Structure 1
Amino acid sequence: MNTLAQLKAGQLAGAQRLDLSCGLTEFPPEIFELADSLEILNLTGNALSSLPDDLHRLTHLRILFCSNNAFTELPECLGQCAELSMIGFKSNQISHVPAAALPPLLRWLILTDNCIRQLPDELGERPLLQKLMLAGNQLEHLPQSLTHCHNLELIRIASNRFTQLPEWLLNLPSLTWLAYAGNPVETATVVADDPTTANIPWPELELAEVLGEGASGIIRKALWKPLAKPVAVKLYKGTITSDGSPLHEMQACIAAGLHPNLIKVEGRVVGHPDDQAALVMDLIDPSYRNLAALPSLDSCTRDIYEAGTRFSPEVALRMIRGVASVAAHLHRQGITHGDLYAHNILWNAVGDCLLGDFGAASFHATTDTLETRALQRIEVRAFGVLLGELLERIDGSIDERLVALQQICCQPDVSKRPGFQEIEALLQSIQQR
């Protein structure tokens, strides 16, 4: 994090990135002194409500973060920034998004947790748009002009007011990751009183160290005292994340049920002193590790693998089969994961894998309707992307049927993609060759 004093003293000359979070109520004019170099400007966590009309003087600006400020509309000056491709205005009070605020190279738009009721039709005139984060607003519709956004891969519209998912949305050729939980359209699955999910009293748990923390909650190691069993406890936060509501994530974890490629839910915590929602889950063996890291600012929708990551054909096929199996299981339960990514998969050296993070999961009808098929086959494209990433990293010969499967999973015609039942059958035949 930089300081305002450093900026004013000229100590940041030539900086490509500037991070300022110091209670700003006005845009510091000294930022323009970095115009020849500044590419990333992060003003998150201030009290700004406007930006200067001549922001375009920052001619190299590619990425702008202004989350957790006091904006009530998306500033029109953004539209004049010729190189600006990523905009983040999460958790403001934005109710108006003018068409003029959309820069021509817009690729990644984050407007999570605002008060937006309508988006301009001109959003569909941004052909590079790839990632659209709109959870936690008041939207009932999306502009149909988005049908022109053939690169649009990730959409988050959870916790809005959608009563239906339009057919054109479900047929976008590149749509791969969709989250829509917490809308009236979602087919709700009642899990709060599920008798198969144990209630675990808070006093029965002895918490230990923090194992990890994400947008939706904190995971801690714990001892389940009556069974003398080490477990993991996920304590959910109550705020809207980029994917949606953490409580919807908790419901999806419970509804997912048992599967060898899922982390087992032992029960729901009851009696927390602050009424915090929490789940008790199996403790994952330390031999498991993340398959990849989250996408970077540049990769946008593609995970980042460690340099030199390679797999044997046998290990890769075992992982591929595991992911297809658990995805098929979820779809049978009426759940789309919504975030089927390598960074949400844990794996070990022999190819065992576990799918986690249900933050973007949504419920759908279990009957075989056109909408259900489309929702499931959007997720098939995510599987195809993952399959392609693994195939690129295999040492040794690759079965040509896997290459063909990857291509058909990613084809632009959603209706012609296979379902996971077909995918499982194909992978089983390859295994038995």
Structure 2
Amino acid sequence: MHTLEQLRAGQLAGVRRLKLACGLTDFPSEIFDLADSLEILDLSGNALSSLPDDLPRLHKLRILFCSDNLFTTLPAVLGSCPALEMIGFKANRLCHVPAAALPPKLRWLTLTDNAIEALPEELGKCGQLQKLMLAGNRLSHLPASLSNCHRLELVRIAANRFTALPDCLLALPRLSWLAYAGNPYTEACELAALTDAGAAGVAWQRLELAQQLGEGASGVIYRARLDGRDDVAVKVFKGAMTSDGLPRSEMAACVGAGAHAGLIPILGTLDAHPQGAPGLVMPLIDAAFRNLAGPPSLASCTRDVYADGMRFDAPQALAIAHGIASAVCQLHARGIVHGDLYAHNILHAHAGACLLGDFGAASMFVPGSPQGNWLQGIEARAFGVLLGELIAHCATPLPALQTLQEACLQQDVLSRPQFEAMELALRDMLPA
């Protein structure tokens, strides 16, 4: 975090990244003094409602974050910024996105938690677009032209007003991570999952919270003692909206997933939190489990970041691949797509033991339906990306896994293998 005083005193000359959060109501003109170096500008958490017409003077600016401000229109000047490829305007008051606001090199657009009812058809001309985050708006349709965005890999349209899943998404050749829960056409399935699964309620008063274990986009996880004797983990959701969707949708998917060796069990949903926050109570996971990778960075966009030197032996890689395929196979059989099938959402431990977690982007579908076949094909591509990462970090070649990976990545969505078949194939690859 930088200060306005540092900027005005010339102490930030030559910086590539600038972050200011100090109640700004106007764009500081001194930022233009950094035009020859500035690539990342973060003005989130201020009170801005406009940007200057000469913003393109920041000719090296690649990334702009203006979340938690007061914008009602996505500034048209963004479209004239020659190097701009990543835009984040989460949690503003946006209701209008003009076509002129879309820069030619746009790769990553985040407009989560606003009041947008429509997007311009020109969005389909953004040929470099990889990541589109629109959860928590008022959208009931997407531009049909989006079917032209053949590089698009991650889409978030949860918690909007869709009465059906937009057809323009289903055949996208690279789409791998899709979240659409919390829309009118998914509400009945989500409520049924919460009701039919019979998840017990766990009263807040029965829990004694200890240290924080972790924090994600949707909530904070604490270690706790249940009824004074059992160690558990408690996930308390942060608010009404996350980057992926609604807490209710995540809870529905978690309890609807059922018991499986590759899934984190659910003991119950949280009741009577003092602030009314929803939550989940889960068994405490063995401390030996670690995240398989870190989440995507600004540079990697849609690809996870692995620790330097991360290596698996062949039995480990195959065990992880089989364990995840088996878990996803059960999800699909129960009408759930994970939506965020990434290494950073996988915990792994001894000899390839693994757990698939974080259902924040999970969505529901009707098993056996034509649309369900498309959705499973989309998730198969995400699995193909994961297989490629396991292969890349494996100490020895895995030709059979390579063949399966290539099948998952083929452009024709419906030609990709189903998880039931992949689970069987991977089981046969495991060492005797």
Q: TM-score, normalised by structure 1?
A: 0.97
- Cross-structure match for 2:2: 2
Q: In structure 1, how many angstroms separate the alpha carbons of the residues matched to 2:13 and 2:385?
A: 41
Q: In structure 2, how many angstroms separate the alpha carbons of the residues matched to 1:195 and 1:378?
A: 26
SS in 1 for 2:175: coil
- Cross-structure match for 2:316: 315
- Cross-structure match for 1:268: 269
Deviation at 1:311, TM superposition (A): 0.3
Q: Say if 1:396 and 1:432 are closer, same or farther in 2 by CA, change over 3 A.
A: closer
SS in 1 for 2:195: coil
- Is the Cα–Cα contact under 8 Å of residues 236 and 247 in structure 1 kept in the other structure? no
Matched, 1:96 2:96: yes
| Residue ranges of structure 1 left out of the alignment (5+ in a row) | none
Number of residue pairs matched? 430
Cα deviation, 1:228-280, whole Å, max 9, x if unaligned, reads: 11110111122311101122112211111111011111112222233221211
Aligned AA (1:300): C
Q: In structure 2, how many angstroms separate the alpha carbons of the residues matched to 1:193 and 1:174?
A: 35
Cα deviation, 1:347-389, whole Å, max 9, x if unaligned, reads: 01310001110000001112x1210000111001000000000
- Cross-structure match for 1:252: 253
Q: In structure 2, how many angstroms separate the alpha carbons of the residues matched to 1:211 and 1:306?
A: 20
Cα deviation, 1:271-299, whole Å, max 9, x if unaligned, reads: 22332212110101010000000100010
Matched, 1:431 2:430: yes
Deviation at 1:196, TM superposition (A): 3.3
- Cross-structure match for 2:23: 23
- Is the Cα–Cα contact under 8 Å of residues 145 and 168 in structure 2 kept in the other structure? no
Deviation at 1:195, TM superposition (A): 6.3
SS in 1 for 2:351: coil
**Mapping for residues 214-229 of structure 1, pairs under 5 Å:** 214-225=216-227, 228-229=229-230
SS in 2 for 1:326: helix
Q: In structure 2, how many angstroms separate the alpha carbons of the residues matched to 1:44 and 1:120?
A: 25
- Is the Cα–Cα contact under 8 Å of residues 164 and 185 in structure 2 kept in the other structure? yes
SS in 2 for 1:193: helix
Q: Say if 1:371 and 1:205 are closer, same or farther in 2 by CA, change over 3 A.
A: same
SS in 2 for 1:209: strand
Larger displacement relative to structure 2 (251-260 or 295-304): 251-260
Q: What's the C-alpha RMSD, in Å, of the aligned pairs?
A: 1.2
Q: In structure 2, how many angstroms separate the alpha carbons of the residues matched to 1:380 and 1:163?
A: 25
SS in 2 for 1:175: coil
Aligned AA (2:245): G
Q: TM-score, normalised by structure 2?
A: 0.97
Deviation at 1:19, TM superposition (A): 0.2
- Is the Cα–Cα contact under 8 Å of residues 84 and 105 in structure 2 kept in the other structure? yes
- Is the Cα–Cα contact under 8 Å of residues 238 and 247 in structure 1 kept in the other structure? no
- Cross-structure match for 1:150: 150
**Mapping for residues 19-58 of structure 1, pairs under 5 Å:** 19-58=19-58
SS in 2 for 1:265: coil
Matched, 1:174 2:174: yes
Q: In structure 1, how many angstroms separate the alpha carbons of the residues matched to 2:95 and 2:198?
A: 43
Deviation at 1:146, TM superposition (A): 1.1
| Residue ranges of structure 2 left out of the alignment (5+ in a row) | none
- Is the Cα–Cα contact under 8 Å of residues 181 and 244 in structure 1 kept in the other structure? yes
**Mapping for residues 183-198 of structure 1, pairs under 5 Å:** 183-186=183-186, 188-189=189-190, 190-194=192-196, 196-198=198-200
Q: Percent identity?
A: 58
**Mapping for residues 34-433 of structure 1, pairs under 5 Å:** 34-186=34-186, 188-189=189-190, 190-194=192-196, 196-225=198-227, 228-366=229-367, 368-398=368-398, 400-431=399-430
Q: In structure 2, how many angstroms separate the alpha carbons of the residues matched to 1:168 and 1:113?
A: 22
Deviation at 1:217, TM superposition (A): 1.2
- Is the Cα–Cα contact under 8 Å of residues 201 and 269 in structure 1 kept in the other structure? yes
Cα deviation, 1:87-111, whole Å, max 9, x if unaligned, reads: 0000001111001010000000000
Q: In structure 2, how many angstroms separate the alpha carbons of the residues matched to 1:51 and 1:147?
A: 31
Q: In structure 1, how many angstroms separate the alpha carbons of the residues matched to 2:45 and 2:204?
A: 34
